[in-house]
Amino acid sequence: MAEVVLFHHALGLTAGVREFAGDLRAAGHTVHTPDLFEGETFESVDAGVAHARSLGFDTVLARGVQAVQAFPEELVYAGFSLGVMPTAQLAATRPGAKGALFLSGFVPPSEFGPWPGVPAQIHGMAADPEFADSGDLAAAQEFAAAENAVDLFVYPGSAHLFADSSFSEYDPAAAGLLTGRVLEFLAGL
C-alpha cells in the first residue's frame, strides 16, 4: 500500500478533500492531509486564491515542503489545484518520490528541476477555465507526451473542483472515475 500526502486546493482543507482522503484510506493507503491554510476554508475559489496571494504563494509552497519533513521519503505526492504546486516541487526535488497525482491543475515540474521519471497522473476537465484556458492543459499534454510513466485524463465538462464532494461543482460521475483511476495507480506502485 502507498503512503500519500494530499495537498488541498484554494478552498482549504474541506470536507470533500477529507472525504477523498478517506476513500484512499478505505482502500488501505496511508494518507496525510496537511493544512496549508492553518484551519481557514473558503466558499469560493476566488476568495481562497486571494487568501493564498495574501500569504504569498512562496509561503504556501514552503508550508507544503515543511509538512512532509517528518515523513519517510517514499511518498506519493498528490494535490488538488493549488496543491499541485507542492506536489510538483516535492516529486521533482525530494528523493524517493513514488508517484505524483495532479488533480484539477498542473504545474510543470521543470519549474523546480528535472523530472526524476516517477509515475504520475494528471486529471482535469476539458472546458475548465482554470485548467484548460490557463495553460495547464497544454503543459500537461506536453509533459505526458514526453514522459513514459505519465497519464493524462481529461474529462468532459467545465467544473474546476469536480472531485470535491463538498463544493458546488462536484460531478459524481467524473469524481468516481477519477477516484477509480487514482486507486488503480496507487495499487500499481
Query: At 119, which CATH number?
Result: 3.40.50.1820
Closest among 2, 70, 16, 65 to 36, alpha carbons compared: 65
CB atoms within 10 A of CB 41: 18
In the prediction, which pLDDT does 33 show? Answer: 98
In the block, residue with C-alpha cell 484510506 = 25
Domain range spanning residue 166?
3-187
Its pTM stands at 0.98
In the prediction, which pLDDT does 21 show? Answer: 98
Q: What is the mean pLDDT of residues 40-66?
A: 96
In the prediction, which pLDDT does 135 show? Answer: 94
Q: What is the mean pLDDT of residues 68-83?
A: 97
Q: Give me the number of domains the chain comprises.
A: 1
Q: What is the mean pLDDT of residues 113-129?
A: 97
For 11-25, what is each residue's pLDDT tens digit? Answer: 999 999 999 999 999
DSSP state of 26: H
